[in-house]
Structure 1
Amino acid sequence: MPLPDEERAGERRPASRPDPRLCYRLVIEYDGSRYAGWQEQREARTVAGELRRALSEALADRELDLGGAGRTDAGVHALGQVAHLRTTARLDGETLRQRANDLLPSDICVLDAALAKPGFHARHDALARYYLYQIALRRMAFAKKYVWWVRDPLDVEKMRAAAAALRGFHDFTAFSQKGPADHSLTRDEAARVESKLVDVHELTISLRPGFIVTRIGASHFLWRMARRIVGALVAVGAGKLTVDDIRQALRDKQPSELIAQLTAPAAGLFLERVEYPGEPVARAAEDVPARLGIPAEREALIRERKPAPRRRPLRGPGGNKARM
Structure 2
Amino acid sequence: MRNSVTRYLIFFQYTGTKYCGVMKIPADRAVQGVGNHLESAVGKLKPVNKFSVVISSRTDSGVHALCNSAHVDIQRSGDKPPLPEHVLVDALNFHLKEEAIRITRAYRVHSDFHARHRAVSRTYVYRFAMGLRYATEMTVMENDLCWAIQNKTLDINAMQEAASLLLGTHDFSTFRASSADMHLKNPVKTLDQIQLEPGVSFSQRHFYRDVRFWELTFKSRSFLYKQVRRMTGALVAVGHGRLSVSQMQELLEARDSRAFPTTMTAPAHGLFLTRVQYSDTDLGTCVLDEQLFK
Give the TM-score range, shorter chain.
0.7 to 0.9
1:78-93 counterparts in 2 under 5 A?
78-89=65-76, 90-93=82-85
**CA–CA separation in structure 2 for the residues paired with 1:250 and 1:258:** 9
**CA–CA separation in structure 1 for the residues paired with 2:237 and 2:65:** 25
**CA–CA separation in structure 1 for the residues paired with 2:46 and 2:215:** 39
* Offset, 1:259: 3.6
Instruction: List structure 1 runs of 4+ shifted beyond 3 angstroms.
Output: 59-62, 256-259
Given the superposition, is the C-alpha separation of residues 48 and 61 from structure 1 closer, same or farther in structure 2, using an over 3 Å criterion? farther
Higher RCO (C-alpha under 8 Å, 6+ residues apart): 2
| Residue number in structure 2 paired with 1:26 | 10
**CA–CA separation in structure 2 for the residues paired with 1:148 and 1:96:** 35
**CA–CA separation in structure 2 for the residues paired with 1:61 and 1:259:** 50
| Residue number in structure 2 paired with 1:141 | 139
| Residue number in structure 2 paired with 1:99 | 91
* Offset, 1:111: 0.3
Q: For 1:93-129, what per-residue CA distance to the aligned partner results, in whole angstroms no more than 9, with x for missing partners?
A: 1111111001113410000112112211111111111
Counterpart contact for 2:174–2:260, Cα < 8 Å: no
In the alignment, structure 2 segments of 5+ residues that lack a partner are 77-81, 201-211, 283-294
Counterpart contact for 2:144–2:270, Cα < 8 Å: yes
* Offset, 1:181: 4.0
Task: Supply the AA of the counterpart residue of 1:100.
Answer: L
**CA–CA separation in structure 1 for the residues paired with 2:60 and 2:144:** 14
| Residue number in structure 2 paired with 1:75 | 62
Task: Supply the AA of the counterpart residue of 2:154.
Answer: L
| Residue number in structure 2 paired with 1:206 | 197
Given the superposition, is the C-alpha separation of residues 239 and 169 from structure 1 closer, same or farther in structure 2, using an over 3 Å criterion? same
Q: Does 1:178 align with 2:181?
A: no
Q: Secondary structure at the match of 2:45?
A: helix
Q: Secondary structure at the match of 2:12?
A: strand
Q: Does 1:163 align with 2:163?
A: yes
* Offset, 1:68: 1.0
Q: Work out which of the residue numbers 112, 121, 125 in structure 2 matches 1:119.
A: 112
Counterpart contact for 1:28–1:110, Cα < 8 Å: yes
Q: Higher mean Cα deviation, 265-274 or 39-48?
A: 39-48
Q: Work out which of the residue numbers 180, 183, 196 in structure 1 matches 2:187.
A: 196
**CA–CA separation in structure 1 for the residues paired with 2:145 and 2:101:** 15
* Offset, 1:226: 0.6
Counterpart contact for 1:58–1:103, Cα < 8 Å: no
Q: For 1:13-60, what per-residue CA distance to the aligned partner results, in whole angstroms no more than 9, with x for missing partners?
A: xxxxxx942110101010000000011111241101111001111244
Given the superposition, is the C-alpha separation of residues 130 and 259 from structure 1 closer, same or farther in structure 2, using an over 3 Å criterion? farther
Q: Secondary structure at the match of 1:58?
A: coil
Q: Work out which of the residue numbers 103, 108, 119 in structure 2 matches 1:110.
A: 103
**CA–CA separation in structure 2 for the residues paired with 1:98 and 1:135:** 34
* Offset, 1:61: 4.6
Q: For 1:242-280, what per-residue CA distance to the aligned partner results, in whole angstroms no more than 9, with x for missing partners?
A: 111111111111113444321100001000001212279
| Residue number in structure 2 paired with 1:320 | none
| Residue number in structure 1 paired with 2:50 | 63
Counterpart contact for 1:64–1:88, Cα < 8 Å: no
Counterpart contact for 2:6–2:111, Cα < 8 Å: yes
- Name the % identity: 29
| Residue number in structure 2 paired with 1:36 | 20
| Residue number in structure 1 paired with 2:263 | 261
| Residue number in structure 2 paired with 1:13 | none
In the alignment, structure 1 segments of 5+ residues that lack a partner are 1-18, 183-189, 281-324
**CA–CA separation in structure 2 for the residues paired with 1:61 and 1:154:** 56
| Residue number in structure 2 paired with 1:304 | none
Counterpart contact for 2:49–2:75, Cα < 8 Å: no
Task: Supply the AA of the counterpart residue of 2:37.
Answer: E
Q: Work out which of the residue numbers 112, 125, 137 in structure 2 matches 1:132.
A: 125
Given the superposition, is the C-alpha separation of residues 51 and 251 from structure 1 closer, same or farther in structure 2, using an over 3 Å criterion? same
